[in-house]
Structure 1
Amino acid sequence: MEKDIVTSNFIEEFVKEDLEAGKCDAIQTRFPPEPNGYLHIGHCKALCIDFGTAEKFGGKCNLRMDDTNPTKEDTEYVDAIKEDIHWLGFDWDKFCYGSDYFEQTYEYALELIRKGLAYVCQLSPEEVKQNRGDVNTPAVSPYRDRPIEESLDLFQRMRKGEFPEGSMTLRAKIDLASGNFNMRDPALYRIKFAHHHRTGDDWCIYPMYDFAHPIQDALEGVTHSLCSLEFEAHRPLYNWVIDNVSVPHKPRQIEFARLGIDHTVMSKRKLRALVEGGKVSGWDDPRMPTLCGLRRRGYTPESIRNFCDRIGVAKVNSTVEYSFLEHCLREDLNEKAQRAMAVLRPVKLIITNYPEGQSETFPVENNPNDPEAGTREVTFSRELYVEADDFLETPVPKYKRLYPGGPECRLKGAYLITCTGCEKDEKGNITAITATYDPESRGGNPADGRKVKGATIHWVDAATAVDGEVRLYDNLFSDPAPDAADKDYLECMNPNSLEVLKGCKLEASLASAKPSERFQFLRLGYFCADSRDSGEGHLVFNRAVTLKDSFGKGNK
Structure 2
Amino acid sequence: MEHSKSTGNFLQTIIEEDLASGRVDRVVTRFPPEPNGYLHIGHAKSISVNFGLAEQFGGHCHLRFDDTNPEKEAQEYIDAIQEDVRWLGYEWQGDVRYASSYFEQLYAWAEYLVEQGDAYVCELDADQAREFRGTLTEAGRNSPYRERSAAENLDLLRRMRQGEFADGTRVLRAKIDMAHPNMNMRDPILYRIRKRHHHQTGDAWPIYPTYDFAHGQEDAIEGITHSICTLEFEDHRPLYDWFLDHLPVKSRPRQYEFGRLNTSYTVTSKRKLKQLVDEEVVDGWDDPRMPTIAGLRRRGVTPAAIRRFCDMVGTSRANGVADVAMLEHAIRDDLNENAPRAMCVLDPLKVILTNIDDSVNDLLIAPRHPGKPELGERQLPFSRELYIDAADFREEANKKYKRLVLGKRVRLRSACVIEAHDVVRNAAGEIVEVHATAIANTVGSDPEDGVKPKGVIHWVCARGGSRATVRLYDRLFRHPAPDRGDTDFMAQLNPDSLRIVDCAIIEPALAVASPGERFQFEREGYFVADSMEHSADSPVYNLTIGLRDVWENAGGAG
- Give the TM-score band, short-chain normalised: over 0.9
State the match for 2:75 in structure 1. Answer: 75
Q: How does 1:267-416 map to 2 (within 5 A)?
A: 267-396=269-398, 398-406=400-408, 408-416=409-417
Q: Does 1:548 align with 2:556?
A: no
AA partner of residue 139 (structure 2): P
AA partner of residue 341 (structure 2): R
State the match for 1:442 in structure 2. Answer: 443
AA partner of residue 273 (structure 1): Q
- Post-superposition shift, 1:138? 2.1
Change (3 A) 1:535 1:162: same
* Partner Cα distance (1:370, 1:441) in 2: 24
Q: For residues 44-92 of structure 1, what are the alpha-carbon distances to aligned partners after superposition, in whole Å with 9 as ceiling and x for unaligned?
A: 1001111011000000011011100010111111111111111111000
Asked whether the 8 Å contact 2:367–2:373 carries over to 1, the reply is no
* Partner Cα distance (2:356, 2:533) in 1: 38
Q: For residues 203-260 of structure 1, what are the alpha-carbon distances to aligned partners after superposition, in whole Å with 9 as ceiling and x for unaligned?
A: 1111110010101110000000001100000000001111110111110100011111
- Post-superposition shift, 1:39? 0.9
Q: Does 1:465 align with 2:465?
A: yes
Match of 1:480, SS? coil
* Partner Cα distance (2:146, 2:14) in 1: 38
State the match for 1:525 in structure 2. Answer: 525
Spell out structure 1 runs of 4+ moving beyond 6 A: 551-555
Asked whether the 8 Å contact 1:323–1:551 carries over to 2, the reply is no
- Post-superposition shift, 1:552? 9.4
* Partner Cα distance (1:91, 1:237) in 2: 30
TM-score (norm 1): 0.97
Task: Give the % identical residues.
Answer: 49
- Post-superposition shift, 1:447? 5.0
State the match for 2:118 in structure 1. Answer: 117
Q: How does 1:2-401 map to 2 (within 5 A)?
A: 2-94=2-94, 95-140=96-141, 141-396=143-398, 398-401=400-403
Match of 2:528, SS? strand
* Partner Cα distance (1:401, 1:552) in 2: 25
AA partner of residue 336 (structure 1): N
Q: For residues 497-517 of structure 1, what are the alpha-carbon distances to aligned partners after superposition, in whole Å with 9 as ceiling and x for unaligned?
A: 000001211111212110000
Query: How many residues of Structure 1 are paired with residues of Structure 2 in the alignment?
Result: 554
Match of 2:297, SS? helix
- Post-superposition shift, 1:97? 0.7
* Partner Cα distance (1:30, 1:469) in 2: 42
Asked whether the 8 Å contact 2:3–2:57 carries over to 1, the reply is no
Match of 2:505, SS? strand
Asked whether the 8 Å contact 1:321–1:551 carries over to 2, the reply is no
AA partner of residue 316 (structure 1): A
- Post-superposition shift, 1:449? 8.4
Q: For residues 124-172 of structure 1, what are the alpha-carbon distances to aligned partners after superposition, in whole Å with 9 as ceiling and x for unaligned?
A: 1111110112345321122222211111111111111122211111111
Match of 1:471, SS? strand
- Post-superposition shift, 1:335? 1.4
* Partner Cα distance (2:451, 2:323) in 1: 41
Q: For residues 315-369 of structure 1, what are the alpha-carbon distances to aligned partners after superposition, in whole Å with 9 as ceiling and x for unaligned?
A: 1111112221111111111111111111010000111222332232221010112
Query: In terms of mean alpha carbon deviation, does 421-430 or 284-293 score higher?
Result: 421-430
Q: Does 1:504 align with 2:524?
A: no
Unpaired runs of 5+ in structure 2? none
Match of 1:284, SS? coil
* Partner Cα distance (2:458, 2:413) in 1: 5
Q: Does 1:515 align with 2:515?
A: yes
Q: For residues 502-537 of structure 1, what are the alpha-carbon distances to aligned partners after superposition, in whole Å with 9 as ceiling and x for unaligned?
A: 121111121211000001110000000001111131
Match of 1:372, SS? helix
